[in-house]
Structure formats: structure tokens, C-alpha cells
Amino acid sequence: MQSPPDVTLQHIQDMAYRIRRLSLEMITYGMWGHIGGSFSMAELLAVLYFHHLRLDPARPDWPDRDRLVLSKAHGSPALYAALALRGFYPVEDLYTYCELDGIEGHTDMRRTAGLESSGGPLGMGLSIAAGIALGLRFRENASARSFCILGDGECNEGNIWEAAMSAAHYHLDNLIAIVDYNKVMAKGFTWSEMSIEPFADKWRAFGWDALEIDGHDITAIMGALHEARWVRPRGKPLVIIAHTVKGRGVEIAEFNYKWHTQAPEPETADAMLRELSRRYGYPEEGYSRLAGRVEKETFYGGE
Amino acid sequence: MAGNNTSPTPPEMRDVFGQTLVELGREYPDMIVLDADLHTSSKAGYFKQAYPDRFIQVGIAEQNLFGIAAGLALMGFIPFPSTFAVFATRRALDQIAISIAYPQLNVKIPGSYVGLPTSRAGASHNCIEDIAVMRALPNMRVADPGDNADLRAIMHSAMDVDGPVYFRIARYTLPDMFGPNHRFEWGTGEIVRRGRDVTLFGTGLMTGKCLEAAALLEAQDVDAEVAHLASVKPIDRELILESASRTGCAVTAENATVMGGFGSAVAEVLGDRCPVPIRRIGVPDRWVNSGGVDDLFAYHRMTPNDIAQAALEAIAMKKAVSPRRTTTGNLQWLARD
């Protein structure tokens, strides 16, 4: 297994902070993107990419690697940031987000190293991850696991439950779903748009094991992933329901569906980035490209 | 080349589909067939019997069928997610488009029960828009076989393509048109009957009806050319332009809606480079209803007689538009590119 260079808790915390910063920089510079859903899974991605996943950035097609399907592909900025920080491509590339021939707004696995699938429409990723898990089984690959990050809102989609039913039917205990349960959808709250509760019970009724954790608690995430990989494989797929806060890190975006899709003005981004520094205890740092840009004809704020 | 009908009763096309799956399974150990509770109808069940370990049943869940196929393709397998064409291209279009076609995954998609012959099941099961829908997806190849040998050849060439393929299987017994050594190439059509007055462009089971129409026209001293274009995408532009520029008018025939499908594909090529009069045979812009297969073809004006009638209309249009074309041909249109 290829371990990242430094797996201290502090390092993972640093990476979560940098994932948030870079997501915001990308969304601001690219003038489009989803801040809320990127911030809510910053710790999840930091633990996955800097502690848990079996990966080798020098060999993106390593057969024994873990695969991660981002089903909530609108959270792509956070994933792109994690992949860049992990060494799949230069951090500088992130500033091509949403540009022609740059990094795709959602996910295009043919254009960005480290992506395991393409996506955008919600509800589709768990089936892909189940197919990967079945494929690992066919290949008799006992080392690798298939991970899928789901949004809570996308669990409204029927396709998720088709996939859930089949994963239990085929005893895919090499499949680990992680729900970024941030309670907020595009235009309202999960409980009001379409309630998914009782959520853990639903998964259990579909034949899954379910764990519930604080999705911003790094040690809790590490523990859940350890359990998923080493303790729970006993004939059932496992879901980790990670309770998170949408937009976690910047007060105005927290628990606020108005910041589901929103590219801030450069000055707003600058203030948000400084808030992030103070909040997480790092030296205050604003928007890196405040002086550059933005000579585009249209500014796509809002949705 | 076209030949006379040799065997008295060829097998049903779906049987050849099932048999060819088994044949390919022997050759390709990474091939996996997936099913959504229809394998004894589609005949994908032949593969289940031969290779039970490489057969995956997903139940009645077509979106998951295609998502799992995408995941298996990512693991280097060659999945054949098999169901009726309606459930593939209507229910699971988003999964086919974004999970499979967009990342160009190596998934082979059989569409069973296409067009009119579905055994009286009615509009919900008559897949008429799949050609139009699937050919609109970037990276997707689309083929509609003219007979059993053609289907088998298409399935073999699908394995040579590193990317998604959609091919149609009619629930129908087609007369043999090609011999057992028939070969299929993507983007290559075949002139199955030479003629001078009009080109009948057929795909799928309609090419056989075009040949019958040509025989009817011959009795009226009309010399029709018949071209079979099983590869709807990519389509054989050169053949279309060469033939239409010689004959000066065209008829297209498909076992599908005339909206956006094969006839549209031919018309696009001709409209771009060689605008000649064209008539399209296929299901008009309406839902099919239940009925016997022959009745359905008659009701939707898709019989050899209807094709022959359309050919006469196209010839009349040609004469009305430009009398000189009938003698000088239309090659000047080709030269303009």
C-alpha cells in the first residue's frame, strides 16, 4: 500500500482546511460551483485521500487501488482539490476549473487523473460503485474496496435504492457507501424537500450495515473507515452516515441552501477565505487571485 | 452480397442473439451478461446456461442494470446489459448517456424487441425512437442488422470497438440476405441490388422489404438500387452520396419512427452534400398500438408496396425538380466539397 507522506492528525486537518480553501478558490476563479456540498465533505475527503485509501498517484490505474465514486458529482471542487493535494496533478491545474478543456464542472474521468467515474446527474453513483465491487469480486481482488460518496438529497432517487437492494443481494461487503448527510438540498432542507428519515433504518431494511458518525470529526471518520474495511466485511455492504454541516467553515454558507450553487464575487471570496483562516487557526490569507482576473463578459453568480 | 433465400425457416433473430452471446463468451473470458428479468424472452438466457458465473441478474431495475454495467466496464470487463430496447433507451437513458457513453466505457447494449414486431404488446413495448435517441449520444455506435448473419457479424465487430455500442434485435424471423461468411464493418454500408432510377436505403429488417419493393418496381420498369446500412452511426456517407448522385432520388426505410432516426441520418448526409428528393418510410409521429405484426406494417404504411409507392413519388419529384438530373446524374454535388 502506498501511504501518503504524513498521516498525522494535524496533517489531515491541514488537508481538510486546504481542500476548503482550494474549493473556494476554484469556484470563485471558475465562476461556478457548489460551495456548500464541497465544504461539508472536506474532512471525509481528507481522511480518505490522506489516510485511508490505497492509492498511488504515480499509477492511477494500479489494479489493487481502492476506487472512489463521487455520486454527488457537484461536490467535485473538493474532490479535485484532494486529488491535486495528493499529487495526481499540479494544484495550479485547479484554476482551469470550468474552463474550456480544463477541469470539468462536474466529473469527467477522461479529463482528470484520479477520477474513477464520470457523473453529474444525481442518483447514479452507487450502481457504478456496486458494479466495481462486483468486478473486484470477479477479479478475486481482496485488497481493494469500492467507495461511494452520496449526497443526502440524492437519496430521493430511486436508482440509489435499486443499487442498495442489489448490493445486499450480492453480499457486496467490499462496497462502502458514505453519505454526506448535510441536511440541505439545492432549494431547501432535506426534511422539507423530501424527507429521507428514518435513514439508517432504511439502509438496514435494505440489508445493509449502517454506522452514524460526526462527519467533521477526523478520528470518528478514521474509526468508521477502519471498521468498514476490517471489522464489518461479513456479507453485507456498509453505509457510513456522516452527519455534516453544509457549507461548514464559512458562516454565511452554513446550513444555507442559498449557497448550494453560488460563485462569490472575488471580494466576497477574499473575506470568506480570511474567515476560514481564522476559524481553523491558520495565518490569515485571502483570495490568491484578487488582483488578477476577471475579464469575462458575464459573471455567473447564483445558480 | 444479397442471395436468394436458402433455408426454409431461419431461426428467430433473438435465438441468434442468444447463440452469439454464447459464442462470444467462449472467446472473451471478460464478457459478462446482465439481465433485468427478461432473459428467456431476449434469449440472453442461453448465456446464463453456458456461463452461469458470468451472468448477473439485477431484477426489474434497469437504471441499476446500466450503472452496474458501467462499474464492471471500469473493472475491465465487457458487459452486455440486456433488456428490451424500450427499457434501456427510455428508462435508463441518463445512465447510458452519462455513466457509459460520456466516459466511453466498453459496454455493449443489445436492444431487444425493436420497432413493430413485439407480439401485440403495444406502444409501451414498441421501441420506435431508440435509433434517434441513441445516435444523438456522442461516442455511441448504433447498428440495426438486416438478417441473422448481419446480427452475428455486428456482435463480433462490437467486440473490436473499445467503447459503447447499441445494436437492435427484432423479435422476428428474417429471411437470410447474407451468407454465413458475411462481414460487418462500422461505417460501411452495402449495395445489395444495383439500379439506376432510385436508391432505397434500408436498415434493419426494412432492407429485406426494400428488396421486395425493388422487385415490385421492376415489374413497372423501374430499376431500383437497394443499399443496406446496418451501421446507422457511423453512417456510410460515401456510399449514400455516390448512390444518390447516380440515381438522383432516395427512399429510406426503418423499423422505427421517422423522427430523427435512420431516415433523418441519410437526409442529413444528402442535405449537406447532395440534396435530392427523398421520401422516408417508418412509423409516423404517433404511438404504435397493439396488433398483429403484418397488420402493424400495413397500418403504418411500411410494406414493400408502400416503399415502392414512395419510390415512384421520389422519382416523380426528381423529374419535377430537375429533369436534367435523370440523364446527367448529380456528381457535381460531390465535387463541390
Nearest CA in chain B to A133: B71
Residue B230 lies in a domain: yes
Give A33-59 pLDDT, tens digit per residue: 999 999 999 999 999 999 999 999 999
| B248 shares its domain with B319 | yes
DSSP letters spanning A238-294? EEEEEE--TTTTSGGGTT-GGGSS-PPPHHHHHHHHHHHHHHHT------TTSSS--
- CATH code at B66? 3.40.50.970
Mean pLDDT of B3-29: 87
Q: Which of A163, A81, A73, A79 is nearest to A118 (CA)?
A: A73
Residue B185 lies in a domain: no
Instruction: Quote ipTM for the complex.
Output: 0.94
| B240 shares its domain with B147 | no
Contacts of B64 in chain A (CB under 8 A): 127, 130, 159, 162-163, 165-166
Q: Does B66 touch chain A (CB under 8 A)?
A: yes
CB nearest to B64's CB, from A108, A118, A162: A162
C-alpha cell at B147: 438478417
Cβ-based neighbours of A267, under 8 Å, separated by 6 or more: A290
| B130 shares its domain with B23 | yes
| B165 shares its domain with B215 | no
Mean pLDDT of B145-174: 97
Partner-chain contact A118 B64, CB within 8 Å: no
Tell me the C-alpha distance between B125 and B113, whole Å: 8
Residue B252 lies in a domain: yes
Partner-chain contact A118 B75, CB within 8 Å: no
Partner-chain contact B67 A124, CB within 8 Å: yes
Q: What is the mean pLDDT of chain A?
A: 94
Residue B4 lies in a domain: no
- CATH code at B289? 3.40.50.920
Q: Which of A128, A124, A227 is nearest to B69 (CA)?
A: A128
Residue B42 lies in a domain: yes
Domain edge (last residue) among B107, B136, B169: B169
Give B72-125 pLDDT, tens digit per residue: 999 999 999 999 999 999 999 999 999 999 999 999 999 999 999 988 889 999
CB nearest to A118's CB, from B61, B77, B98: B98
Structure confidence at residue A102 (pLDDT): 94
Residue B6 lies in a domain: no
Structure confidence at residue A7 (pLDDT): 82
Q: Where are the beta strands (DSSP E) in B263-308?
A: 278-283
Tell me the C-alpha distance between A100 and A120, whole Å: 17
Tell me the C-alpha distance between B271 and B268, whole Å: 5
Q: Does B290 touch chain A (CB under 8 A)?
A: no
Q: How close A292 comes to chain B (CA, Å)?
A: 34
Give B238-291 pLDDT, tens digit per residue: 999 999 999 999 999 999 999 999 999 999 999 999 999 999 999 999 999 899
| B199 shares its domain with B72 | no
| B215 shares its domain with B154 | no
Structure confidence at residue A6 (pLDDT): 62
Contacts of B98 in chain A (CB under 8 A): 118-121, 124
Where chain A has pLDDT below 70, the residues are: 1-6, 292-303
Which one-letter amino acid corresponds to residue A262?
Q
Give B208-245 pLDDT, tens digit per residue: 999 999 999 999 999 999 999 999 999 999 999 999 99
Q: Does the pLDDT at position B44 exceed 80?
A: yes
Place of cell 398483429: B292
Residue B87 lies in a domain: yes
Contacts of A169 in chain B (CB under 8 A): 59
Distance set, CA B305 to CA A110, A245, B210, B217 (Å) = 49, 68, 9, 9
Question: Cβ distance A92 to A26 under 8 Å?
Answer: no
Partner-chain contact A117 B99, CB within 8 Å: yes
Pairing outcome for strands B31-35 and B55-57: parallel
| B83 shares its domain with B231 | no
Residue B27 lies in a domain: yes
Q: Map residue B42 onto helix, strand or coil.
A: helix
b/e map of B226-247 (b: 16 or more CB within 10 Å)?
bbbbbbbbebbbebbbbbbbbb
| B29 shares its domain with B126 | yes
Fold of A9-280: Rossmann fold (3.40.50)
| B139 shares its domain with B203 | no
Place of cell 481538510: A16
pLDDT confidence bin for B333, thresholds 50/70/90? very low
DSSP letters spanning B207-243? HHHHHHHHHHHHTTT--EEEEE--EEES--HHHHHHH
**Structural domain spans, chain A:** 9-280
| B50 shares its domain with B131 | yes
Q: Which domain holds residue B76?
A: 13-169
The pTM score is 0.94
Identify the residue among A107, A108, A111, A117 best suited for mutation to test binding to B, counting B beta carbons within 10 A and taking the highest. A117
CB atoms within 10 A of CB B153: 22
Q: Considering chain B, what percentage of its residues have pLDDT values greater than 90?
A: 89
Instruction: Work out how many domains chain B is built from and give that number.
Output: 2
Q: How close B103 comes to chain A (CA, Å)?
A: 6
Q: Map residue B33 onto helix, strand or coil.
A: strand
| B140 shares its domain with B199 | no
CB nearest to A128's CB, from B70, B77, B94: B70
Tell me the C-alpha distance between B167 and B42, whole Å: 13
Tell me the C-alpha distance between B337 and B326, whole Å: 22
